[in-house]
């Protein structure tokens, strides 16, 4: 299902809770169903996050977000590392924490930047 996002922060914040939810079980578990859930959701979210991370232009006054490209790339790197470790049945506790830290950084930057900014004169 496609969704419309008013700002880049809206897109990131939309996916953030689910990223945390599918990542968290891998802090202590290596059950295949948890790895499968992570892979299924990550494979849906990553293309949209790539749109933010590798945007070739940035107009904060139009899109309503601070420049979160580098932080989104850090999140993608953490997600990639966690996914690789989980798929290889390697310890994932530290990688889950890296995802949490990256999400926290993005959430802090996006605080107060959801939706479109008000138009001048309104």
Alpha-helical (H) ranges within the chain are 8-23, 32-53, 60-63, 69-87, 93-110
- Would residue 30 count as lying in a domain? yes
pTM value?
Answer: 0.85
Angle, vertex CA 51, rays to CA 48 and CA 103, nearest 5: 65
Answer yes or no: is 67 within a domain. Answer: yes
Report whether 50 contacts 73 (CB < 8 A).
no
Is the pLDDT assigned to residue 28 strictly greater than 60? yes
Task: Answer whether residue 100 is part of any domain.
Answer: yes
Cα–Cα distance, 102 to 58 (Å, whole number)? 20
Provide the domain limits for residue 19: 8-110
* Percent of the chain whose predicted confidence (pLDDT) is above 70: 80
Residue with the two structure tokens 């999400």? 103
How much is the pLDDT for 22? 97
CATH number at residue 56: 1.20.120
pLDDT per residue as tens digits for the range 73-118: 999 999 999 999 999 999 999 999 999 999 999 999 888 776 655 5
């Amino acid at each position: 299902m496609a969704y419309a996002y008013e700002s880049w922060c809206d897109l990131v914040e939309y996916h953030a809770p689910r990223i945390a939810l599918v990542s968290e079980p891998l802090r202590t578990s290596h059950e295949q169903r948890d790895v499968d859930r992570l892979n299924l959701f990550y494979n849906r979210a990553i293309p949209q996050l790539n749109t933010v991370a590798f945007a070739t232009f940035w107009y904060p006054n139009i899109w309503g977000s601070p420049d979160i490209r580098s932080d989104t790339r850090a999140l993608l790197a953490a997600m990639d590392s966690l996914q690789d470790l989980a798929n290889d049945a390697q310890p994932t506790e530290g990688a889950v924490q890296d995802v949490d830290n990256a999400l926290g950084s993005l959430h802090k930057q996006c605080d107060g930047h959801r939706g479109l900014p008000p138009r001048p004169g309104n």
